[in-house]
Structure 1
Amino acid sequence: MTENPTEHATLLLLSRDDVAALLQPDEVLAATREAFVLHSQGEGRVFSLVRERLATGGVFGIKSGDVGAQALLGFKAAGFWPGNPARGADAHQATIMLLDPATGRPVCVIDGNAVTTERTGAAGGLGLHLARPESRTACVFGTGVQAQVQLRYAIRLLPGLRQVFYATANGQPKPAFEALFAGSPCAISHAADVNAAVAQSDVVIAATTGKGPLFDLAAVQPGTHVNAVGTDTKGKRELTEGLLAKARVFVDDAAQSRSIGELQWAPDTACTEIGHVLSGKAAFARGASDITVFDMTGIALQDLTVARLLEQRARLAGKGQSIAWPW
């Protein structure tokens, strides 16, 4: 009798610790760039987004897509559960699954928390290509995990950065946040007056939970670049009324930005997808007085290209847990 090979199939599991050991910022940056370029070229598809509020108070979402020519298919189930910190866990939770597009068989399940954090930081880093290369001052709204990774990439990719202001939700300094960047070339100081800090900054990074506008329109000076990170659900907002109308606006996905990003508040705003800039499909030359905004809602292709990278590295290094998965 012929043996059925499907009975010996396996599924690779990559835990939080596996992912942390495998993630390398430069590789994530390259994989995230590839995701945006694939999206621009139409080689990578982004499927319809699921993003729903739960009776438990959380928000649940599914981002999925594929790259047919690369046999890449998968999804990320993720969301936000505000009660988790009281349980000693991160409020953001995510799990990624890669599947064989020829059979539908799951091939790898990955803890998605660190992936989401790092690929979003990398996306923000790519958005900084829109900023003035000589930028020396930045203002960061938020001090959580995402604010930390956004600032880490900013310091990495803007070599002239020397002064960072940070704004907190309660208006009080956070020494622990400052300590994280004690060895960087930047002076880190709390922004007691957020509008004054924005007015002094070449780059503004908004990485909050999106409860409302963070600064006044008048504070944004000509030449400023803004990375808008935190608005990823209907009803969320970080940018003030009128800013998009004054800016050259860039997004990761136009339809998604109009649905759940900052453009939900001004859906008729003209915008350019960042992938078009990175692929050369859209020319970009910054004028000295241009205000630029990059609205980041996060697309499935980012998760998939980084997940594929992790799967490949894990198999080469013998990392993760392989379990029987007959089908």
Structure 2
Amino acid sequence: MPIDATLLLIGKDTVETLLQTEDLLSAVREAFVLHSEHAGRVFPVVRERLHTGGIFGIKSGDVASQNLLGFKAAGFWPNNRQLGGEPHQATVMLFDPTTGRPNAILDGNAITTARTGAAGGLGLRQLARPDSSRLCIFGTGVQARVQLTYALRMLPAVREVRYVSISNEPDEGFEAPFRDRCNIELATRCNDAVAVSDVVITATPGGGPLFDADAVQPGTHLTCVGADTVGKRELPAGVLDRAGIVVDDVEQARSIGECQWAPELPCTEIGDLLRGAVQFERKNQDITVFDMTGLALQDLTVARLLHSSALASGMGTTVAWPW
């Protein structure tokens, strides 16, 4: 048995240093296309509530043609806020599919934030009206920030941004990074902010409907991030019925996403759109929804990118991991 085997540890700072936007978008797009082509497998999701009040989950999968195998163990621990920490916690592991030996352990928080932001950006590019100029976002946390960052990148016509905070108070820390790119202000009336917006992004813990269904006007695109567990939702009843629904994975969306509340409705996987297997032409009056639950393949293609980049650049920490 090899006694000189090693394991590469890639922490948060290294992940953030190595993640370049265009490479990240390509890796996430590849994950969706692999899923659409059935070239990559997504294994059943584990998502369980814990006695501590947290939620623990595992998303795993493989791509046989690339010898890519791994999982992300992640969840949500709301009590972390009282400790001054991030409620979302995640760790990604890559394995050698031939031997089962681990190749790398990566900070999953940074990966999850980045790949979810990139997925939202790809969805906006496919589904939102290119001339969208007004955006409403629910949430001011890490995911809200990255979603807004990609929205402003993908939709350069967006100039007016209204945000809804959990405290209903202005959030200077949220506003500051975006002031040079848009006019950003707190929304004091949720329904009014939704009604005048071309794009609505919901990036909250998914505790319940965030606005009334009749606030959503024809022509609106909605990106939904927060529903990723049984019982979670951000959209009110009646919105999905009026919308063209796009998901990352049909079965997963109907199990733990917004589509769990209307599983009978037809929906299209974004990978089918990205590779041209399904044609989509948005009419100006169409309402569209991108229900994002997160694919294991996104974590794996991004982790593979990071692993290769870290090896090439000599970054990360190598530790002995003998058989």
> Could you state the TM-score of these two structures normalised by the residue count of structure 1?
0.97
Match for residue 298 of structure 1?
Answer: 294
* Pairing of 1:57-136 with structure 2 (within 5 A): 57-129=53-125, 130-136=127-133
- Give the whole-Å Cα distance in 1 for the aligned partners of 2:77 and 2:189: 31
- Give the whole-Å Cα distance in 1 for the aligned partners of 2:277 and 2:322: 44
Match for residue 138 of structure 2?
Answer: 141
* Pairing of 1:314-325 with structure 2 (within 5 A): 314-325=310-321
**SS state of the match for residue 210, structure 2?**
coil
Per-residue deviation, 1:9: 1.2
Match for residue 15 of structure 1?
Answer: 11
Question: What is the RMSD of the two structures over their aligned residues, measured on CA atoms?
Answer: 0.8
Amino acid at match of 1:154: A
Amino acid at match of 2:152: I
Q: Does residue 181 of the first structure (1) align with residue 178 of the second (2)?
A: yes
Match for residue 210 of structure 1?
Answer: 206
Per-residue deviation, 1:204: 0.3
The unaligned stretches of length 5 or more in structure 1 are: none
Cα distance per residue 1:241-287 (max 9 Å; x no partner): 01000000000011001111001111101100001000111101001
- Give the whole-Å Cα distance in 2 for the aligned partners of 1:42 and 1:115: 23
Q: Does residue 192 of the first structure (1) align with residue 188 of the second (2)?
A: yes
* Pairing of 1:165-314 with structure 2 (within 5 A): 165-184=162-181, 186-314=182-310
The unaligned stretches of length 5 or more in structure 2 are: none
- Give the whole-Å Cα distance in 1 for the aligned partners of 2:210 and 2:169: 15
- Give the whole-Å Cα distance in 1 for the aligned partners of 2:223 and 2:146: 13
Per-residue deviation, 1:89: 1.5
Percent same amino acid among aligned pairs? 62
Cα distance per residue 1:194-239 (max 9 Å; x no partner): 1111111110000001111011111111110000000001111100
Cα distance per residue 1:37-57 (max 9 Å; x no partner): 000000010001000000000
- Give the whole-Å Cα distance in 2 for the aligned partners of 1:64 and 1:193: 40
- Give the whole-Å Cα distance in 2 for the aligned partners of 1:23 and 1:215: 35
**SS state of the match for residue 48, structure 2?**
strand
- Give the whole-Å Cα distance in 2 for the aligned partners of 1:132 and 1:95: 35
Cα distance per residue 1:108-162 (max 9 Å; x no partner): 1001101000000001001102000111110000000000000000001111111
- Give the whole-Å Cα distance in 1 for the aligned partners of 2:86 and 2:193: 29
**SS state of the match for residue 73, structure 1?**
strand
- Give the whole-Å Cα distance in 2 for the aligned partners of 1:238 and 1:165: 17
- Give the whole-Å Cα distance in 2 for the aligned partners of 1:175 and 1:108: 37
User: Which residue of the other structure, out of 33, 36, 55, is the alignment partner of 1:40?
Assistant: 36
